[in-house]
Structure 1
Amino acid sequence: MRIVLAGGGTGGHIYPALAVAKEMRRQEPQATFLYIGTTKGLEARLVPREGIPFEAVEIAGLKRKLTVENLRTAWKFVRAVRRSAELLREFRPDVVIGTGGYVCGPVVYAASRLGIPTVIHEQNVVPGLTNKFLARVVDRIAVSFEESLAHFPRKKTVFTGNPCATEVMHGRAEAGRQALGIPDGRRIVLIVGGSRGAKAINEAALQLLPMMGDEPDTHFVYVTGEVHFEEISSRLQSEASLPPNVTLLPYVHNMPDLLAATHVIVNRAGASTLAELTALGVPAVLIPSPYVTNNHQEKNARGLEKAGAAIVILERELTGESLRRALAPLLRDTARWSAMRERSLTLGKPDAAASICRLLREAGKT
């Protein structure tokens, strides 16, 4: 099977596409792929590492009000559609899947105009502008959250979950503990703000961790983000306030292994992150980013909160003390932790990547 993947900008759009490719390769080792993105997004760096051929088109996002810049964007879209069509004619895919980001617009639209079967995947509860536009022309739509079904034509929309959930199921808890030298008897609280870190979470963690030395059965793994690591490390060391039960890291390369060993996580509420947590049943304290389009992270997080799988703290309410209060019942009340874990697991879709692969095959046969 020949598949074109399109998605770009942030990891939340790129990692689901790569997860689909990995699952398809497991099922069909002979499958071939082409990834179409932009040179400015993370995809230009991440995709070639996976051994997937990469091509770029130039595109920008529309502003939500009438501006001169939108006229330039419209012209870029036309040119990107032409370039996408050239790449598609050359590669001759059986199906094209878009996983979000502005680049999906011209690629998936060009495929639909050429009569190539098309699929889009929406990671968030509320769809963005690109997927709203593409929903009218694609053959099938996959969504990560059941609540998203109301935003798309019901007959061609399927609740599959997020394919990142499948990837995380390959993690090994023992390997995660061994990599950090954490004994089996210790619970792990993972504090992370995404691959680049989050200033608000870092500041709250700086206030929290000096208070956590009296939790001897708990080990805190605090991932600062690479750009924040030196500053945070320096501040903690200068204040002599880093307890022995804390491991400070700039980045985690074996995240599936570490998540498999995690007792509680403190994190943002990106769709891929929530897919991973619910697949594993990890109780969470979520601090949604207020800087994203349509405030979609809070909507994502509230769904888990309503189901009893997470505690939500808005960034404007986040302090070391509010974080300590949220963590306390999850560390000291076994029944509360177990209930949250069970509720989280009911939301998980660990077979999401396989479901999307089936959808691609079905679309490719139409």
Structure 2
Amino acid sequence: MKKVIFTGGGSAGHVTPNLAIMQALDESWDIAYIGSHEGIEKELIEKNAVRYYGIASGKLRRYMDRKNFTDLFRVAKGFFQARKILKREKPHVVFSKGGFVTVPVVAAASSLGIPVHLHESDFTPGLANRLAKHFAKTFYTSFAETAAYFPESSTTVVGSPIRPDLFTGTRQQGLHLTHFSRERPTLLVMGGSLGASKINEAIREALDSLTQTYQVIHICGKGNVDPTLQGKRGYQQYEYVHEDLSHLLQMTDLVVTRGGSNAIFEFLALHIPMLIIPLPKSQSRGDQILNAQSFVKNGYASMLEEEYLTTDSLMKEIHSLYDNRQLFIETMNASGASDAVSRIVEDLQARVQT
């Protein structure tokens, strides 16, 4: 039996592409996962009945902080923990999606001679993947421009792995879950697995105006549900949606989203017009801005930078997106986005010998 260990964590964006590939592997594969002890990856993976191993994980920062010193010991501890797990499991390959927890895992795999396959979702590689690439043999990217950061001979542009279950939802079930009507357009607001406070605030400030035209599904992040808005007509809020997300997406006419690569590629695959409000440089390395700019350039989305986010600017951009939705849909339909999952699975099948 062929055996693969996946790794990736810290946010849902580092986990859901792994899930997409895992779901596409047939019964000839034995699958396990290495992540952090308490990250979101643990919850998401264990829901799928996959063997899960938690290791110590330190955050890798680009700035001076005392925790950089102590976290080096956590990374070192994670390396030895991962090495012990890998020696016991003896996988044929390790597939890494990124996030801080992956660095000790891929380093341990490399030290044992286990091939590492790495996927980078963003326009430019994050710090974790910049380090991890020194231990990997094969590279995949979502954006064509990203391939320049990896060895040309071993890098393939495949797009972002999309979970097949996202296509299995029905509009009817979505309407049933939300108690919404078919007669009005539905706006989905998704700020990422952890939520986005600025977007949450702007949406709620504009809510009375929004609900005059749209029905609003608001996935606002853990601990961010506003109890005073429960039961408001034309508005449904959730901390996080997992099993029912496919149904909500099938009833969505347009979406307001952060600029995480996996999310926007999912909306692209589903042909949902999107307004991207990327995480600003003050809170990130600027990768979401680059992701958003690429999608705007290709005609897949419109973009509103957070520094210009107000009730008025938000309403203006949403109305413009809806008015021009058919043009966005036609452009996304013609995008010819590749099937990343099948290409990666075929590659794994070809490279792994039992």
Q: TM-score, normalised by structure 2?
A: 0.91
Over 3 Å counting, the alpha-carbon distance change for 1:136 and 1:345 in structure 2 is: farther
Q: 2:290 aligns with which of 299, 304, 314?
A: 299
Q: What is aligned with 1:58? A: 56
CA contact (8 A) 1:166 1:351 kept: no
Residue range with higher mean Cα deviation, 12-21 or 56-65? 56-65
Give CA deviations for 1:243-282 in whole Å, capped at 9, x if unaligned: x433344443411221122111011111111111010111
Structure 1 segment 184-333 matched on structure 2, within 5 A: 184-215=182-213, 218-231=214-227, 233=229, 242=232, 244-253=233-242, 254-290=244-280, 292-331=283-322, 333=323
CA contact (8 A) 1:118 1:363 kept: no
Q: CA-atom RMSD, angstroms? A: 2.3
| Pair 1:364 & 2:348 matched | no
Deviation, structure 1 residue 350: 6.4
CA contact (8 A) 1:164 1:276 kept: yes
Structure with greater proportional helix content: 1
Gaps of 5+ in 2: none
Over 3 Å counting, the alpha-carbon distance change for 1:214 and 1:105 in structure 2 is: closer
Deviation, structure 1 residue 120: 0.7
Deviation, structure 1 residue 164: 2.9
Residue range with higher mean Cα deviation, 315-324 or 160-169? 160-169
Q: What is aligned with 2:180? A: 182
Distance 2:200 2:142 in 1: 28
Q: What is aligned with 1:134? A: 132
Amino acid at match of 1:223: I
Distance 1:164 1:201 in 2: 25
Distance 2:212 2:11 in 1: 38
Over 3 Å counting, the alpha-carbon distance change for 1:195 and 1:115 in structure 2 is: closer
CA contact (8 A) 2:36 2:57 kept: yes
Distance 1:130 1:224 in 2: 27
Deviation, structure 1 residue 213: 4.6
Over 3 Å counting, the alpha-carbon distance change for 1:248 and 1:37 in structure 2 is: closer
Distance 2:47 2:239 in 1: 21
> Percent same amino acid among aligned pairs?
28
Aligned length: 351
Over 3 Å counting, the alpha-carbon distance change for 1:76 and 1:204 in structure 2 is: closer
Over 3 Å counting, the alpha-carbon distance change for 1:347 and 1:125 in structure 2 is: farther
| Pair 1:29 & 2:27 matched | yes
Over 3 Å counting, the alpha-carbon distance change for 1:61 and 1:339 in structure 2 is: same
SS in structure 1 of the partner of residue 226 of structure 2 = helix
CA contact (8 A) 2:99 2:128 kept: yes
Residue range with higher mean Cα deviation, 13-22 or 181-190? 181-190
Give CA deviations for 1:126-165 in whole Å, capped at 9, x if unaligned: 1012211222331111112222111111111111122135
| Pair 1:355 & 2:343 matched | yes
Give CA deviations for 1:297-327 in whole Å, capped at 9, x if unaligned: 1111111111121111111211111111011
CA contact (8 A) 2:117 2:137 kept: yes
Q: What is aligned with 2:46? A: 48
SS in structure 1 of the partner of residue 246 of structure 2 = helix
Gaps of 5+ in 1: none
Q: What is aligned with 1:339? A: 327
| Pair 1:108 & 2:106 matched | yes
Distance 2:63 2:319 in 1: 45
Over 3 Å counting, the alpha-carbon distance change for 1:232 and 1:275 in structure 2 is: farther
